[in-house]
Amino acid sequence: MRVSGFTFVRDAVRLGYPVVPAIRSLLPLVDEMVVNVGVSADGTLELVRAIGDPRLVVFESRWDEALLERGRVLGQQTDLALARCRGDLCLYVQADEAYHEDDHPAVRAALARLADDRRIDGLLFDYVHFYGSFHTVGVGRRWYRREVRAVRNRAGVRSWKDAQGFRLLEGAAGGGPGGGGDGTAGRYRKLRVAPSGGRIFHYGWARPPARQGERLAEFERLYQGEGARARRRARGFHYDPGEKVRPFNGTHPAAMRAWVAEGDWPFAPRRRRLRLSNLREDLLDLFEEATGVRIGEYRNYELVRRPGRA
């Protein structure tokens, strides 16, 4: 069983993406690490190459500005990296995510099961979303609880829409990477996945406020164009103290700890309470907190809880 890791990144230095810790968090689990670096003027390519690991497979790509609408370019760039993978199985990490070393034994065992059972397309990971600081994590319906981060390396696996997850393109006659839902002929189906026993630590909403504002401005440009970036910069940014969070009492992945220690800042969330303007959402969150059930949860996958043997 050969395992490939893959990711993509652009402007990591300017926008504060912890891409080096993200890659380092995945390296112990893979035989090769494919990194698609979008052409950048801030030294991102040199930063990635300086990792110096012989498993790195680094290449550059130029982002297609015509695909910026709704973030489709993110799916395209993910697919370009996936297409370079030579492993039987592929583990994905985004440039603001990390795997925790405590989960490595469970993930390795799940990868072995995935390799053995041809009826499973991928593995599902639980998410820890940091918001506002490195000491608070988002809770509630706005934060997705799980997503696919391991897939079988087979024809037709595509990043879905803006690269949150994956689907399988069936019945297509050829065609290159394009990001799910891009009009390629054929039918997309959800991947059949099993639990991995692993977690993904997501730092997309945990940066010093000034750096986060610039990241959001760039991100909004990817979805809505240049005008959206200008409007975001004009508004500025601050973390919402009313966001639903809970204290984080665990440990950060080892690869992330130096980055976390270098960039801490104060964040004081308000005590959680029911809001008349969001009463339905708040009541659903209370139900989930009491039962563990999320009503109406979006799932871009089909969960196979007891996979058999092929």
pLDDT tens track for 229-240: 888 888 888 999
* Paired tokens of 279: 């009463």
Give me the half-sphere count of Cα atoms (radius 13 Å) on the Cβ side of residue 284: 12
| Span 21-74, pLDDT tens digits | 999 999 999 999 999 999 999 999 999 999 999 999 999 999 987 776 667 889
Full-model pTM: 0.90
| Residues 6 or more apart whose Cβ sits within 8 Å of residue 138 | 129, 130, 131, 205, 243, 244, 245
* Interatomic CA distance for residues 271 and 268, integer angstroms: 9
Q: Which CATH superfamily is domain 3-205 in?
A: Spore Coat Polysaccharide Biosynthesis Protein SpsA; Chain A (3.90.550.10)
Q: Which residues contact 274 (CB under 8 A, 6 or more apart)?
A: 282, 283
Dist. CA 184–CA 180, nearest whole Å: 8
> pLDDT, tens digit, for every residue of 145-194?
999 999 999 989 999 988 899 999 987 544 444 444 444 556 899 999 99
pLDDT tens for each residue of 65-108: 777 666 788 999 999 999 999 999 999 999 999 999 999 999 99
Contact 130, 239 (CB under 8 A): no
Residue 273 pLDDT exceeds 80: no
| Residue 1, pLDDT above cutoff 80 | yes
What pLDDT is attached to residue 71?
73
* Eight-class DSSP state of 269: P
Contact 200, 149 (CB under 8 A): yes
